[in-house]
Amino acid sequence: MKVITLCGSTKFKEQFEKANAYHTLQGNIVISLGFFEQSEGIKITQEQAELLEEIHYKKINMSDEIFVIDVNGYMGESTKKEIEYAKQQGKLVSYYSESDIK
């Protein structure tokens, strides 16, 4: 059993949900996002954005692996930073675009 944190753009809510279900059914503990501000049209302040970033790095620290939701290869700057951070922490990084989840 692994702990996997999902990373990626908040515009990909449906793919996050599919990845969460898939990895959970594989017997893993999945950590996802609290909400999807882009998909759901939620406005956040800069302070809130910084807080969410800090929280997400702590989620990565708690994980064995991150699973990047990179639909059609798309990764924003925040996701790229999360990947680099995960690698620096020695975490395994896998990608939606390379998986069988669809």
The Cα–Cα gap between 18 and 86 comes to 22
CB within 8 A of 98, min separation 6: which ones? none
The Cα–Cα gap between 64 and 62 comes to 7
pTM here?
A: 0.93
The Cα–Cα gap between 7 and 9 comes to 7
Report angle CA 87, 84, 79 to the nearest 5 degrees. Answer: 125
| Per-residue pLDDT at 67 | 98
| Per-residue pLDDT at 16 | 94
Segment 3-50, tens digit of pLDDT: 999 999 999 999 999 999 999 999 999 999 988 878 788 898 999 989
Mean pLDDT over the full length of the chain: 94
| Per-residue pLDDT at 17 | 95
pLDDT band at 102 (very low <50, low <70, confident <90, very high): confident
| Per-residue pLDDT at 61 | 98
- For residue 75, what are its two tokens? 């990764």
Segment 47-80, tens digit of pLDDT: 998 999 999 999 999 999 999 999 999 999 999 9
